[in-house]
Amino acid sequence: MVATPQNLLVIMSDEHNRKIAGHAGHSIVSTPALDTLAAGGCCFTSAYTPSPICVPARASLATGLPVHRHRAWDNATAYDGRIPGWAHVLRNRGHDVAAIGKLHYRGHPDEDYGFTESLLAMHITGGVGDVTHLVRDPDDIRTTGKNLIASTGPGESSYTLYDRQVAAAAQIWLRENGTRRHARPWVLFVSMVAPHFPLTAPPEHYYRYIGEDLPRPKLYDTTERPDHPYVRIYARRSDYDRHINGPADLQRALAGYFGLVSFLDEQIGKILTVLSETGLADTTRVIYTSDHGDNLGSRGLWGKATMYEESAGIPMLVAGEGVPAGAVCTTPVTLCDVSATILAAVGASGAIAELELPGVSLLDLASESPKDRTVLSEFHTYGPNAFYMLRDQRYKYVYYVGAPPQLFDLEADPEELTDLGLDPAHAPRRREFEARLRALLDPELVDREAKADQARMAECYGGFEMLRQREKMAFTPPPTAGTH
């Protein structure tokens, strides 16, 4: 269908495991704003990140392209604006396109990301980012894992203070800019950091959960954890779970994360309230999503960087004119589809073909029967070799360069408890998926290209041996760090 052009508010969080929300069926976490948004629109239950790590995922949203096409491989190789994306197209067509909050682009002052206005922009640190991500050595332990539990508890971090400022700036923008007359529909991109660690949650949210009987992460016991080579590498190299010493630490970590999800929801609620109070709700569609998820202790893993549902899956809610209320769409989608949706929602759907984007409009999918569509995610850091995920209506397939594949029947096994990657009975299905992957890209060639780009960048910083000696970054400081 051709969507009626309207304003569009896109809200993005960072590292939100899509299972941790009331509308997703979580038994404890409180997310009234997101639940209301889901009830009034469509929830995409098979939504995925193009890459389960910040910088590549956000470059895919900016460009509408998968990682192997934009080549922002890791958290040091960031989007620089040279590939035109939806923001460039819309600005050139006379739309106001404003961004408030985290972008995680390269951030050099001479770069043009297409926005007519950008406030409180958070980019990779110093325009350089964490260059230790260029190192693909499984024995190069990141050493920042101890911060996961050391920072967990009640209080305010530089991130929660930043998110409060981002939410406040979004409210001001909507009241002062969103309500004035525009020649064409506007797009406002609001990007917050919660529930990304540090797991320091405002007290009113932390104490909501610390005394509760919180669900234990699945397959958490050492004997239950999967024995896949990459999963072992990531668990060891990320160095998170080693610092969680017993049930009390685990409880604190979960309470901190749940508290940050509720804090995020509170900020989103403030922004959505302004839409209603100003009358903009009638002329503005809303998209909520995240750049990737968080393993949150499942299988003993924390952070992202895997293709499990907790990490590669993302929340995706769409509401507004033309979107059926209370709908659930199981068609697989990614952030690349959000890029196409932004263009379609404001009346620029022709640009989807002009930019040769692989995505389709979520506004169309929300009103249609589920489609057996296949979507792609890929990862090019941490481990020694790349890996790629394909997801269709029923199955998830993960192809590892130099390691055994994984296959999950998500209809029969939604919690991914049984890996069919080496099951002889499923060999034909794995061959079919590999053929699909190779029709999209050459996995070994793309792996070599990523490593070559990373090696060239590493030389700029003294080579891989020098990078191994550099301090790892626990997280990117916000632009407001040290301010009030």
For 79-83, 157-161, 464-468, which range has the lowest pLDDT when averaged over its residues? Answer: 464-468
The answer on pLDDT for 345 being more than 90 is yes
CA distance 300 to 253: 13
Residue 476 lies inside a defined structural domain of this protein: no
Instruction: Summarize pLDDT for 267-287 with one digit per residue, the tens.
Output: 999 999 999 999 999 999 999
Q: Residue 268, Cα to own-chain centre: how many angstroms?
A: 17
Q: Which residues are CB-neighbours of 302 under 8 A, at least 6 positions away?
A: 145, 148, 238, 240, 241, 253, 294, 295, 296
**CA 255, 160, 63 angle in degrees (round to 5)?**
105
Interval 43-56 mean pLDDT: 98
Of the given ranges (59-63, 132-136, 318-322), which has the lowest mean pLDDT? 132-136
Pairing of strands 395-400, 387-391: antiparallel
Instruction: Annotate 65-115 with DSSP letters as a single string.
Output: --HHHH---STTS---S-S--HHHHHHHTT--EEEEEE--S---TT---S-
Is 88 within the bounds of a domain?
yes
Number of Cα atoms under 13 Å in the Cβ half of residue 138: 12
Percent with pLDDT over 90 in the chain: 92
Q: Has residue 484 been placed in a domain?
A: no
CATH for 84: 3.40.720.10
158-173 helix and 247-277 helix, angle to the nearest 10 degrees: 10
User: Token pair of 46, please?
Assistant: 């098979």
At residue 371, the pLDDT reads 87
In a domain, 286, yes or no: yes
- Residue 484: is its pLDDT beyond 70? no
Backbone angle region of 130, left / alpha / beta, with phi > 0 → left and psi within -120 to 50 → alpha: beta
pLDDT at 142: 83
Please check whether residue 424 lies inside any domain of the structure: yes
Question: Do residues 404 and 79 lie in contact, with contact meaning Cβ atoms separated by under 8 Å?
Answer: no
Supply the pTM of this predicted model: 0.97
**pLDDT (mean) for 139-168:** 93
Domain count, the chain: 1
Per DSSP, the chain holds a count of helices (H) and strands (E) of 16, 16
Average pLDDT over residues 433-448: 98
Residue 146 sits in which domain range? 7-469
pLDDT in tens, 154-185: 999 999 999 999 999 999 999 999 999 999 99
Residues 247-259 have a mean pLDDT of: 98
Residues 6+ apart with CB under 8 A from 450: 68, 71, 73, 380, 386
Beta pairing, strands 7-14 & 187-195: parallel
Decide if pLDDT at 482 tops 80: no
Residue 305, pLDDT above cutoff 80: yes
Residue 229 domain flag: yes
Residue 482 in any domain: the answer is no
- From CA 35, how far away is CA 316, in angstroms rounded? 12
Q: Is residue 478, in this structure, part of any structural domain at all?
A: no
Dmax (CA) of the chain: 63
